[in-house]
Structure 1
Amino acid sequence: MTMTLFTGLSAFPLTPMDDEGRLDADLLGRTLDRIVTAGADSIGLLGSTGGYVYLTPEERKRTLRAAVECVDGRTPLIVGVGALRTDTAEDLARDAKAMGADGLLLAPVSYQPLTEEEVFRHFEAVAGDLPLCIYNNPGTTRFSFSPDLIARLAEIPNVAAVKMPLPANGDYAGELRRLRAMTPGGFAIGYSGDWGAKDALLAGVDSWYSVAAGLLPGPALALVRAAQAGNAAEAERIDSAFQPLWALFREFGSYRVMFMLAEVLGIGHASPPRPILPLPEACRGRVQAALEHLVDVVGDRAESPI
């Protein structure tokens, strides 16, 4: 299995759309170029930050095509293929392979609550020729993977990793130890939830699937490299710089904050898909202040025009 694809920093960019819902390929390209230039280990295209559930299959194909052309093999692309129906997810996985993606990310998207057996069969059908990461995101899917189900899925060929939510009890090391004992050697275990990244990384997880890195890959990568080197003091310092941004993420949801952050950074304007509304204009000052604090502490690695 390709564990190295699912290690280090995976940066999750927005899928920028204009007010009419059309992909802004130029803005996507500028965002991806920042991630590639910073040296992120992978790009998590069409994840939750990429708003995949709000896009039609054709819009998702168009986004992937533009991303593959822009990245041009410089950074591995992991593509979200979650869909309400198994056959749609299978089609998206085949398209990802055909268009040059390096790996897949699959969440069990559903309207009806799913059983563990239904989720297992879903993954069994979608897993194919590309390494696949289990997307355990109960905050949006309302389905939480049990350790037993993760272990069972890890036996499917090409199911190579899991993207976990932050543990409610904060016991990263304990959860990591239990999952490693239940899964094959080489199975990669990573976490999302940016405000818990520092603790997860210092506990020894394989990867950080980062929302913030979609627009701020420089400081996000600095945090990862400090933790990977065992430099807890430096990781703490960089994480402290992110705290105002983490507070905004927790209060408003990272997805909404990212759209305004793109504008504050001067990268460009994109509209979230309705019914999601942009942050109120009154929040702009807080987003600006969070970015300035990050730049003050971390320095020019923030890649900000401020």
Structure 2
Amino acid sequence: MASAALVTAPTFTAAQTASTTDPGPKTAVSIRAADKIFSLGRGKQLQALAQVDIEIEEGEFVAIIGPSGCGKSTVLRLAAGLDEPTNGSVEIFGAEPRQLAKQHRLGVAFQEHALLPWASVRSNIALPYKVAGRKIDDARVDGLIELVGLSGFEKARPKQLSGGMRQRVSIARALVLSPDLLLLDEPFGALDAVTRRRMNAELARIWGEEKITSILVTHDVDEALILADRIIVMTGRPGQVREVKKVDFPRPRDAETTRSPEFHALVDELTSLLDASESAAA
């Protein structure tokens, strides 16, 4: 009787095993060697960005800070598909931003909430469904109203809400279609300091629930440290990436975090980088 053949399973090193089972973090945003030059007419030009390279992993929250006029919002507009780079490339999950925008896979919230003044909180949050030609998911809308802390205000109009509440509606609207990327351009810039701190805590909580890849443009160093996994510091115009700082504070981050020596050390370091960028731009 023939003996059974002995088949020896192949052996792998730990690194080989990891490479076959774990593909690693997925790139969500890839901006490579991006320039942006605006035409001002009569042969004049303004270069807003120069050779900008940014890579953001899926699920990351990244903040962009820098001097006024350094091109922070321009970076956001490139990612949103609202502008195109003069040179270089921008990809969101391997696709052109405008393609994802047409598919309603990008959520955007600006400093101006742009809510419909005649529409209720609920109708404003549900608006993207109508724009996309989709059936309204009532459960999703209800869930977001609860998530942003506006239960009981479903029928209220924007004029009946505080500034912070209006911004929460704006963020809920940006999230309602479960976008792949959330883009936030100074969403709390017009709020007073106390309300802004409260909204930072709210946004951190909301992001903790949704875990959507997010880019925040802000002038506020404390806000960036409370919310972000990494902070990109830009130079003065034409904007370039000056430095990238990793933020290792455990989540959730609270008042105790902001009182720590490590937090204050990072505030000082980032402020110094901003001051240097301001001086260089002057």
Asked if these proteins are the same fold (TM beyond 0.5), I'd say no
Normalized per residue, the structure richer in helix is 1
| TM-score when normalising by structure 1 | 0.41
Q: Which has the larger radius of gyration?
A: 2
Normalized per residue, the structure richer in strand is 2
